[in-house]
Structure 1
Amino acid sequence: MAYLTNREAAELMHVHPGTLTQWRNKGRGPKFIKLGDGKQPRIRYTDTDVKAWMDQYNMTPEARDKAGAVA
């Protein structure tokens, strides 16, 4: 298990770091660890939590077609 910064987790997920921050502030996205309680606490994600969260959104081609996605 590796600990990832917000930037590293965002890179793994192929999203902008700001998007990941917004998701976190809205209660979305993968589990995270908050280190410290000052004005700038350090946020870390485990690679396993990020990958598990991403796995929730895996779709087969058939499921994607039913959802209305375009190939």
Structure 2
Amino acid sequence: MEYLTSEEVSMWLRVSPSTLCRWRQIGHGPRVTWLSRTCPRYRRSDVAAWLERAAA
């Protein structure tokens, strides 16, 4: 299982890190896994699945 940082995901999605953070706060965007209170990570498969659903 590969985990990506917020910076990696924001580059992949071509959105700013602040947009990705805002999506997390409102429950939008790809599923996030918190490794600690300040350490969000994203599974590559979750980001890909979210993109598929968003494109449909």
Query: In proportion to residue count, which structure has more helix?
Result: 2
Shift of 1:36: 1.7
Query: In proportion to residue count, which structure has more strand?
Result: 2
Provide structure 1 residue ranges, at least 5 long, that are not aligned to the other structure: 60-71
2:28 aligned partner: 28
CA RMSD, Structure 1 to Structure 2 (Å): 1.2
Shift of 1:58: 1.8
Q: Using structure 1 for the length normalisation, give the TM-score.
A: 0.72
Q: Using structure 2 for the length normalisation, give the TM-score.
A: 0.88
Percent identical pairs in the alignment equals 38
2:45 aligned partner: 48
Q: Tell which has more relative contact order, 1 or 2 (C-alpha 8 A, sep 6+).
A: 2
Shift of 1:43: 0.5
Provide structure 2 residue ranges, at least 5 long, that are not aligned to the other structure: none
The runs of 4+ residues in structure 1 deviating greater than 6 Å are none
